[in-house]
Structure formats: structure tokens, C-alpha cells
Amino acid sequence: MNSTDYIDLEDRFSAHNYHPLNVVLTRGEGVWVYDVDGKKYMDFLSAYSALNQGHCHPRIYQTLVDQAQHITLTSRAFRNDQFGLFAKKLTQLCQMEMMLPMNTGAEAVETAIKAARKWGYKVKGIAEDKAEIIVCSNNFHGRTTTIVGFSTEKQYQDGFGPFTPGFVIVPFGDIEALREAMKANTAAFMFEPIQGEGGILIPPEGYLKQAQDLCREHNVLFIADEVQTGLGRTGTLFAYQHESGVKPDLIIIGKALSGGFYPVSAVVGRKEVLGVFNPGDHGSTFGGNPLACAIAGAALDVIVDEDLPGRSADLGRYLMDKLKGISSSYVQEIRGRGLFIGIELKPEAGGARRFCEFLQQEGLLAKETHENVIRLAPPLIITKEEIDWALERIEKALTTL
């Protein structure tokens, strides 16, 4: 079978909830992937930052193989010998007190929402069913009906209502709007330190510290969604660490937590917050399973031992400087931190999709977001020479199309 055959099967038997580039991948190693027709590509998306450690990292792979030969799933009805070790490693790395394991990023966000509401009622003393959580415009926290209910992207909501009440939306980066939204019933402020799906949007310098101070003043939880920005992607272990003196009450983690081998997510935070859960309040059959925990533990070790945050910081500066040196009439702005970069195109560029399709033909895989932004997020194990290879193709796309 060739690429056309596989594409026909997918289009016929799968719901059309994605619009992927027409490349059918069959193998990956490091920053490189190969399609079923034998063509080689450099991956500049990293499965939306789930592959910070690269494709099929041998250390994580070996852990998967070893653990799969022993036991893969117990459910949390029983204990297993991997969960406690993973819980300790993750909470200590995050400098937190407790964690709660889940599978996907959206599940972890839902967990944080439940924790914030229950904390609001049991600890802060908010009246029953009156708790509010403040979120930001252009947010992306997942795809459940509760989460899309507080999205400002109309397509994410179309046909899926009615939605869960209890969310207040403020402009991202506007500290005065956040101040005005703080009420007696406010339980939490949940935010992305850098909005990835929104187009690699970075808040004003000092915003996170000011927002944290407001939360402390009003006894409101400060919750960072680091599913896409965390674990080294932006040049620090977590993106909130670009501002000094910032420490969330809860951190939501996913994607690269497993290095791309398995769905693993978690909420880590203060005991006062996660301690509100009692047996039966919340759960997941697969959350905290021994295979997931072993894989995630190895994935964290790779991030630390190979200093992936440091690599992202250094190579991100290099990539950003080179990109800003490209002369193109189509480029509106280039922004980002570490190896998390967006190239925003002017309206006359005709959308980012055609640039990504051109890059695919040149052997580089990237993806558009918000129609006019090319998102660049290669695995953090990439080398300077490989970045130079990619830059040649990006410059060709921006200057010849």
C-alpha cells in the first residue's frame, strides 16, 4: 500500500475531525520521520510538544519494553510498585507536595477544575455551586464539553452546547481586567504561560507575577496549564519560570511527560489543594498504571539528564535570531521562547497552510495554527546542524512562495 491507499482508508472510515497534511508516517527516530513511500522528513511539530525527547528515544523505549514484560495495568483498586516512585520523582522535580495522575491533558485540566472548585467550597468557604474560575481569551485547555464551553474559538463550541457555567473570561495579558474579575466567589485563575494554540502568544513582562499577587490577595488559586509549554519546551523546565518569584498552586502537565510513548498526564500542587480529594471523588482506570508510571519516570530522567530545557534555550535563541534575519514581505511577526516559536504571516500571505504544505514537499513537517501562524516546535534533542537544514527550507518557503 502507498500513501494514497492509507489516506483513502482514513477518509472513508474515520470521522473528519482533523485536517492533517497528506503525509502517512510509518517510522520515527530522533527528529526524523519516514513515510510509507520511503521519504524522509524532519519533524518540526513534535506532536504538539509531546515529543520533546524525540521520536522513540532508546532509553524510554527500553523502559517500556522492560515494564511491559512485568505488569501494565492494575487500576487504582490495587497498588503497584511504580506509582509511588513516579509520584515522588514528579512532585520533587516540580518542587510541589502532591500529584494526581491522569492520562490526557484534557483529563488533567478537568482534574484541576474539580480540585479548584472543591477547594473553593471546602477551604475558602464559597457558597455551594457558586464557584467561578477565571480563564483567558484565546485559551486552549482541551476538548471536553466543559473546557470548550469557556473557549473563545467559536468553532470549538459550535453544536456542542449547552455548556457548564462558572467560568469568567478575561483578555490574556490584561492585569486590570483580571483585577476587575476577582470576586468573592472566585476560586481560581487558570492560564497558559504562553498560549500555544492561540498562536504562540506571550503575555507582557511581569504579568504572571502581578496575576499571582492578585490571586494571593484575593485567596484565589493560581493554576498554570503547562501541558504544551512544560518540561523544557520554552527553555526552562516550566514556562512560568521565565518570571522570577512565580510559583503556581497547581501545575497541569501532559504531552512530553511520556516522551510520546503513552498517554500520561498529572496535576501537581500544594497539599492543601489536592488534599481535598477523598476516595471516590475522582479517578481513572488507567491513571497511575505501572506502565505509564515507568515510562513517565524515564521520560523525566531524559529531560533532566540531557538538559533539554538548556538545549531549548540555547538553540531557541539561535533559531529565533536566524528567522528574524530572513527578509520576507509576508512575515508580520516572529515570537516565541526556546524552541516554541510562531511565525505570524500578514493577511496577504494567503494563510499558513500553503506554507506548511510547501515545507512538507521540502522535507520539513510543521503545522499552521489560527490560520495565519506557522508553529515551529522541533524535538529538543535537535542539533544546530539540523536547525540549519530546516532554516534553508523555511527561508525558501517565506521568500519564494
Which pLDDT score is estimated for 61? 98
pLDDT for 291 equals 98
pLDDT score at 7? 97
Q: At CA 373, angle to CA 232 and CA 361, rounded to 5?
A: 90
Residue 160 counted as domain residue: yes
Task: Indicate whether 61 belongs to any domain.
Answer: no
Three-point CA angle 277, 280, 284, nearest 5°? 90
Number of folded domains that form the chain: 1
In a domain, 233, yes or no: yes
The pLDDT of residue 136:
98
Predicted confidence at residue 109, as pLDDT, reads: 98
Residue 123 lies inside a defined structural domain of this protein: yes
Residue 356 is assigned to a structural domain of this protein: no
Give CA–CA dist 348/190, Å, rounded.
Answer: 35
Q: What is the CATH number of the domain that holds 301?
A: 3.40.640.10
Asked whether residue 226 is domain-assigned, the answer is yes
Positions marked active-site: 140, 225, 255
In the prediction, which pLDDT does 211 show?
98
The segments of the chain whose pLDDT lies below 70 read: none
Please state the separation of Cα 109 from the chain's center in Å.
11
Instruction: Please check whether residue 33 lies inside any domain of the structure.
Output: no
pLDDT of residue 60: 98
Cα separation, 46 vs 32, whole angstroms: 10
Give the pLDDT of residue 140.
97
| pLDDT value of residue 25 | 98
pTM of the model: 0.97
Rounded-to-integer distance, Cα 77 and Cα 110, Å: 21
In this prediction, residue 359 carries a pLDDT of 98
Domain ranges, residue 148? 78-305
Do 212 and 290 contact (CB within 8 A), yes or no? no
Q: Which long-range contacts (CB under 8 A, 24 or more apart) does 280-283 make?
A: 281/114, 281/118, 282/100, 282/111, 282/114, 283/76
325 in any annotated domain: no
The pLDDT value recorded for residue 127 is 98
